[in-house]
Amino acid sequence: MKRLIVTLVIVFIFTVSAMVMMGTTIDVEAKGEMQEQSEVGVTVKISLDGKDGTLGFKIILDTHSVDLGRYKFAEIAVLRADGKEYKTSVKSEEGSGHHRSAIVEFDNPETKEVEVVIKDVAGIKERVFKFSL
């Protein structure tokens, strides 16, 4: 019995580690609500900031262990919809070092669901945030 428990714990740890290394997805229906993912010491928060002719999002990066100054929002944030990726236009940025935020905009693909993807921050390939419009 003890051996079984140890084996299950090891399998669980390896599974979680693999998920972290491959990126994770949060499937949340959110309009204006802040979605959050915390992995390997970096927290990413995203909320829908507006959806007129374009889709606007507020992105927040927080940490106490990584210098976030090297990440450019125009390079790490993309929008996915209907199998296409859309590049961002950064409207404003604030902060430096351990606490950064930005307002970004994307062309509106006129779909019911989109994903905002944050790529390659602190060793996590992708952090995916889903929004229903």
The domains located in the chain, with CATH, are 2-132 (2.60.40)
| Residue-level pLDDT at 1 | 67
pLDDT tens digits, 29-83: 444 689 999 999 999 999 998 887 899 999 999 998 888 999 999 999 999 999 9
**CA separation, residue 33 to residues 48, 49, 74, 113, 128 (Å):** 7, 9, 22, 15, 15
